[in-house]
Chains A and B, each alone.
Chain A
């Protein structure tokens, strides 16, 4: 499924389906050469006691999983749903879920037995095969057979009807998923329009206030100029709120792939290089070691860009004779299978008591406020959310560089270190 929201929606739909039919449901996703199974809440609850019992015998669960994978693979090959008998003799239906690029998810449900006599014979033969394969004792075999006889029983006509409905169910599921995508698209376009309108108004306000301030620099009273100055800064701070919210809105669902983070960091550098140069700051990137990580690149791009922009924004200005440097360094994390990226600058500091607070939504750094360079308190909160969604972490260091008791306004060496694991849970590549 493309993304978390759709995955959640699919699970909810399957749960409803399980609730309505009392049938167990498993969804299988084909990812990077392997089938990954997941069970909606109700889907697992509806499992037949026969299957649950089989799983308690050594090798029983593996046998079941292999069988389900084979049937899911058949759907992937043909693109068609089908009805088939499982290794233990129960009937199951397999249903393809269409993806943007072909079928990747298959839903299996069923675990039904038929009442008719010919079926009893086939089921017995299958049961014996499983019993022998797993080396069950006579008592265990008998217990398993009795459990099979307790499985939900359907007349053949019902099975045929379900088989007939299979394509309809697939069509309905896919229509719901498509509808959700259209809905998301419309919402994003609406958000973009609102952002455009807000920023246009902010531009008009800031231009008018700044022109008044600059053109009347010598004539206007000091307090009026000061008020205009505050107004300009507050409008620009408001813009940061709109900017962060819109960036976050435009990001699509998390989509994890394995790729190098080098291009993300260089794109971030590319975006803020001009701004840095205007402030007499050079951005240097130095990465070493293996940089391929399992990431959602659009989200991590946002996080890296935000951290690099902060490093530039909160740096003290350089001069031609003494340029400042924002440094990005990366290396494998010692002792853990992951990579660490550090964004380092020399400028406005972060107080020790703020190192956790700066990641809270709406929090604005005390020293940045003093410097009139305050952000909106949205960006870092979202950065932390992105890093945590990657099962990583972020740490902050801020060291006062001058020998003084008053840290306000003094230069600090600041480091934001992002730790990211190479692999994510469920990534079997």
Chain B
């Protein structure tokens, strides 16, 4: 059975080619474009094999304040409120060292900075999947 990767990213239409090697290798990529979509699909994230998470998103249409890095807020909610233990790889442009430290505390398996080669993304995602298998 193919492994499922949830990709929370609001620019999937622009950077979609980056996951092509993963799809060609047989992984199922489920794309969520907004934080609301992700938070409405917590059970789907819980049972997925990996969450590929962007940090920066547009503010939700609901007007709810998700702070400077909505991805970080979503991750906190998943981990702390809903007890979701799915391995997480952060795939984002955020490069501040302090944010990285917070992500590590939340048990993020890897942090990949954009831009990255698609082959490199695939290799590192597979490394995390193998470690969790």
Contacts and interface: CB of A to CB of B under 8 A. Distances in A.
A207 B93 contact: no
Contact of A203 (B100, B110, B116): B116
B21 interface: yes
Contact of A207 (B17, B100, B110, B113): B17
Interface string A19-36: 000000000000000000
Contacts of B115: 199, 202-203, 205-207, 235-236, 239
A196 B93 contact: yes
Interface in A241-299: 243, 246-247, 250, 267, 270-271, 274
B28 to A, nearest CB: 19
Give the size range of A's interface with the partner: 20 to 34
Given A210-B117, A270-B104, A200 B97 contact: no
B17 A211 contact: yes
B11 interface: yes
Interface in A352-393: none
Interface in B81-133: 93, 95-97, 100-101, 104, 110, 113-119
B106 to A, nearest CB: 15
B101 A267 contact: yes
Contacts of B95: 243, 246-247
Nearest to A214: B119
Contacts of B14: 200-201, 203-204
A200 B93 contact: yes
Contacts of A243: 95, 113
Nearest to B112: A274
Most chain B CB neighbours (cut-off 10 Å) among A207, A211, A239, A305: A207
A202 B117 CA distance: 11
A200 B104 contact: no
Interface in A165-214: 195-196, 199-208, 210-211, 214
B117 A271 contact: no
B48 interface: no
Contact of B15 (A203, A210, A232, A270): A203
Interface residues of B, number: 23
Contacts of A210: 117-119
A30 to B, nearest CB: 28
A229 B1 CA distance: 35
A301 interface: yes
B93 A214 contact: no
B94 to A, nearest CB: 9
Given A199-B115, A207-B15, A235-B115, A271 B20 contact: no
Contacts of B21: 211, 214
B100 A204 contact: no
Nearest to B91: A203
B11 A200 contact: yes
Contacts of A206: 115-117
A203 B56 CA distance: 15
Interface in B10-39: 11, 14-15, 17-18, 20-21
Given A211-B118, A235-B115, A267-B101, A195 B93 contact: yes
A301 B99 CA distance: 14
Nearest to A274: B110
B114 A271 contact: no
B52 to A, nearest CB: 13
Contacts of B15: 200, 203-204, 207
Contacts of B93: 195-196, 199-200
Nearest to B93: A199
A207 B104 CA distance: 27
B97 A305 contact: yes
A109 to B, nearest CB: 40
A80 to B, nearest CB: 37
Contacts of A211: 17, 20-21, 118
A412 to B, nearest CB: 26
B17 A204 contact: yes
A152 B114 CA distance: 64
Contact of B97 (A235, A239, A271): A271
Contacts of B56: 196
B88 to A, nearest CB: 15
Contacts of B17: 204, 207-208, 211
A211 B119 CA distance: 8
Contacts of A214: 21, 118-119
B96 to A, nearest CB: 6
A271 B98 CA distance: 11
Interface of A: 195-196, 199-208, 210-211, 214, 232, 235-236, 239, 243, 246-247, 250, 267, 270-271, 274, 301, 305
10 contacts: A203-B15, A204-B15, A206-B115, A207-B17, A236-B115, A236-B117, A243-B95, A247-B95, A267-B101, A301-B97
Given A200-B114, A206-B116, A208-B17, 10 more contacts: A203-B18, A203-B115, A206-B115, A207-B117, A210-B117, A214-B118, A232-B117, A267-B97, A270-B100, A301-B97
